[in-house]
Amino acid sequence: MHDEYCNCCPDWNDDKNRFQPENRFVGDIEDGKRYPFDVYKKAEADERFAVKQTETDLQTLTARVETLEYNGIKITSFTADPTVCELGSSNTILLSWALNKTPTEQNINGTPVSGNSAQFTDVTSDTTYTLNVLDGNMHDAASVTINFANRIYFGAAANLSDIAALDSVVSDNPARTINVNAGVNEHIIYALPVRLGKVALYSSGIEGGFEEPVLQVLTNSYSYQETYLIYRSTNANLGQTTIEVKER
């Protein structure tokens, strides 16, 4: 530290708070040029340093704010109706979506689309639709798949020729819980496509009570034929019964 009483540095200049030119030190680089410290007085140098430091801080802050504030495009929902169709049928699929901002470009499976919905007609097999959206800087994508399945039949019937009249669900999932009221001469029936595999049937937590499944070809309302496994309860007239069906 130097003051007016300092005698250790005879070349010290109190006005500029710097050494004399012949003993000066080399200072900052500005605009590609290196300036000695004594170019500016202390107050000037301090002021310039403060300005430069503020500019640097503002640049860093601005870059950070821009990064935080940039709201990239996002798909907030993408749905299809229907998502499960019956084998043999031809369907119109309605796709709907929502975004967090207006896109600059959007397409489904490479085909440009506008708005927030699109229809695809004559769909007859499993199909995946992928929505791509862009906002000029970022990209987002989402997919939905349409699955085709056959019916699984269940209920109570006096003979196996009445299966098509039973309750049914279009599904490739063989597991479910069913409630059946089997009256006089009626057996509990569960029928599913062979390709889904065999199942185990439980009543009151106990497996059994059903005959070995038989094979039967069934034709659905769209003329699609498939071979089924038909399970029938060993006994008839079981009344109201809950059956839990599990995959084997």
Ramachandran class of 6: left when φ > 0, alpha when ψ lies in -120 to 50, beta otherwise: beta
Indicate yes or no: pTM above 0.95. no
- The answer to whether residue 218 sits within a structural domain is yes
Whether residues 94 and 128 share a domain: the answer is: yes
Convert the pLDDT of each residue in 50-72 to its tens digit: 666 676 666 776 766 665 567 89
Sign of CA dihedral 158, 163, 165, 171: positive
CA 75/CA 11 separation, integer angstroms: 70
Query: Which residue range is the domain that position 155 belongs to?
Result: 151-247
Closest CA to 80 of 113, 127, 44, 35: 127
Closest CA to 139 of 98, 104, 111, 109: 104
What's the number of domains the chain is made of? 3
Whether residues 121 and 173 share a domain: the answer is: no
On the question of pLDDT at 76 being above 90, the answer is: yes
Q: In whole angstroms, how large is the CA radius of gyration of the chain?
A: 40
- The answer to whether residue 6 sits within a structural domain is no
Convert the pLDDT of each residue in 101-157 to its tens digit: 999 999 999 999 999 999 999 999 999 999 999 999 999 999 999 999 999 999 999
User: Where residue 109 sits, what CATH number does that domain have?
Assistant: 2.60.40.10
- The answer to whether residue 162 sits within a structural domain is yes
Whether residues 48 and 112 share a domain: the answer is: no
> What is the full DSSP assignment across 52-113?
HHHHHHHHHHHHHHHHHH-----EEEEEEE-SEEETT--EEEEEEEEESS--SEEEETTEE-
